Amino acid sequence: MDLSPKGDPAGFVQILDDKTLAIPDRPGNRRLDTLHNVLEQPHVGLMFMVPGRGEVLRVSGVAQIVNDPDFLATMAIKGRPPILALVIEANEVMFHCGKSVIRSKLWSPKDWPQIDDLASYAECLGDQTTSDETVAQMEARFGSWHEGNELY
């Protein structure tokens, strides 16, 4: 099983018809786990979380990888199309109770606990992987992503 978060500005998931969705696949960690898994097993499950909404939308269906340049151009952001897209034919769609999202206060940063001794992402990577970068170099690189630098 693989979990790969996706996100772009509102409306990034295209509704192609009553049963078909398209999700752009933009450069990320370049691991391609999801795409590899879809090639081996095209049955997928999606969970849509929308800021400000407690309910979660669940979709299951069959995915295919699309690389048609004309189609990908319809998903461009700032003139840059995604490298690929997942097109999913949904066979089940349902809302899931939002109690866990509401209880967690996921969309309320002011209510998040302040944990001063929690390891950063870079510290975790530095501890668990081998890299030519120091933790400080990774912190500088990852920090710029969180400060609003464009990834497109």
Question: Domain locations in the chain?
Answer: 14-104, 113-143
**How far apart are alpha carbons 19 and 122 in whole angstroms?**
40
Mean pLDDT within 123-146: 82
The residue among 145 and 39 whose pLDDT is bigger is 39
What's the pLDDT at 31?
66
pTM confidence score: 0.74
CATH homologous superfamily of 14-104 = Electron Transport, Fmn-binding Protein; Chain A (2.30.110.10)
What's the pLDDT at 149?
47
- Give the up-direction half-sphere exposure of residue 3: CA atoms within 13 A in the CB hemisphere: 2
**How far apart are alpha carbons 48 and 73 in whole angstroms?**
23
What's the pLDDT at 70?
97
The residue among 18 and 152 whose pLDDT is bigger is 18
Give the model confidence (pLDDT) of 73-108 as tens digits: 999 998 999 989 999 999 999 998 888 888 888 888
Give the model confidence (pLDDT) of 49-73 as tens digits: 888 888 889 999 999 999 999 999 9
Give the model confidence (pLDDT) of 17-53 as tens digits: 999 999 998 876 666 777 888 999 999 999 998 888 8
Q: Given a cut of 80, is residue 152 above it in pLDDT?
A: no
Alpha helices in the chain (DSSP H): 33-40, 69-73, 99-104, 121-128, 135-146
